[in-house]
Amino acid sequence: MSLTPMGFRPPDGPGSDTSGRKVTTATLREQKLRHEPITCLTAYDYATARLVDEAGIDMVLVGDSLAQAVLGYENTLSVTMDEMLHHVKAVRRGVKRALLVADMPYGSYHLDPTRALDNATRFVKEGGAEVVKIEGGEKRADLIRRIIDAEIPVAGHIGLTPQSVNVMGGYKVQGKDLSGIEQLMRDAVALDRAGVACMVLEGIPREVAAMITAEVSTPTIGIGAGPDCDGQVLVFHDIMNLTFAPPAKFVRRYADGAALFSNAVRAFSADVKSLQYPADEESYHLPRETKAGLENVLARKRAMGR
Ligand code: KIV
């Protein structure tokens, strides 16, 4: 850790929201009504959370994609409540303006409703999350109502739900035939009626996402669902090329983080090995009087032959 104070918050830069107004679940609904696109990115740590928040992103999601993006797991199924909570707390410290959403990991809401409520409450009480996200539509509606009854806003998530990877037989675009579309519409309406704060539409045809967005009063946040949703979410590591894998069709890469970090690490290594780092200006020095005193002591020692 450098000795640089970490508390400094720079003025807002280009593209950032300068209103400073806190984003709430009510803001998302207003944005839908005003046709003002909602922005959402994932973050898993304090530094990224600050960058995303200070750039004016509306929602920060601590996604269970933490599993692959940061923890190196194969899929999202392995990540635990405790691992998620640890990262939600770090992100909470970095987010001031955006709405903070915590993803309920696989197994944290599937077993029994009381345990689900307990886990959702932990995200709010211990992690400081403002919304919890749950995968699944119609079949989760009763559970979602219970969590909302406990004063915890819920984000729905339908379509390609990664926690169902084994049931879906892979990561496949959903709602491609008439019965799939019908199921998605039922899921969306069930979430709308349950009163979710927003719903993520993942991996569905553009036409179906547009129909859902027009049908429900809940703001829809798309990922691989085309441009007609009320907002868009992407994984931070995807847009920064930090995934070590070819991107999905819907991912747009905004920076080559892998090249940036890798080049910086190589440059540091080369500088140390060639004695170019640290330079004298990058070193601390003794005060003049102490240095003079020290030189005196050393000179005396030399004179005494020691
Ligand atoms: O975990 C995740 O990253 C998500 C996506 C919707 C972005 O759930």
**pLDDT digits over 39-72, tens only?**
999 999 999 999 999 999 999 999 999 999 999 9
pLDDT for 51 equals 98
pLDDT for 200 equals 99
pLDDT for 19 equals 66
Q: How far apart are CA 53 and CA 32, in angstroms?
A: 20
**Active site amino acids:** 202
Report the percent of the chain where pLDDT is more than 70: 93
CA angle 267, 273, 278 (to 5 degrees): 75
Residue nearest to atom 2 of ligand 1 (CA): 63
* 148 CA from centroid of ligand 1 (Å): 21
Q: How far apart are CA 30 and CA 243, in angstroms?
A: 34
Closest CA to 199 of 164, 150, 161: 161
Show Cβ contacts of residue 87 under 8 Å, excluding neighbours closer than 6 positions.
44, 45, 62, 66, 70
| Strand spans (E) along the chain | 38-42, 59-62, 99-103, 131-135, 154-159, 198-202, 220-223, 231-234
Using an 8 Å Cβ cutoff, are 142 and 111 in contact?
A: no
Segments of the chain with pLDDT less than 50: 11, 14-15, 18
Show Cβ contacts of residue 158 under 8 Å, excluding neighbours closer than 6 positions.
135, 136, 137, 184, 187, 188, 191, 199, 200, 201, 202
**pLDDT digits over 212-234, tens only?**
999 999 999 999 999 999 999 99
Mutate to test the pocket of ligand 1, among 38, 44, 88, 103 (most ligand atoms within 8 A of CB): 103
Using an 8 Å Cβ cutoff, are 184 and 160 in contact?
A: no
pLDDT for 11 equals 46
pLDDT for 17 equals 54
- Terminus-to-terminus CA distance in the chain, angstroms? 39
pLDDT for 305 equals 81
Q: How far apart are CA 197 and CA 10, in angstroms?
A: 31
Q: Whole-model pTM above 0.75? A: yes
Residues with beta carbon inside 6 Å of ligand 1? 42, 61, 63-65, 103, 200, 202, 223, 233, 235
Q: What is the DSSP letter of 19?
A: S
Mutate to test the pocket of ligand 1, among 40, 44, 65 (most ligand atoms within 8 A of CB): 65
pLDDT for 68 equals 98
pLDDT for 14 equals 46
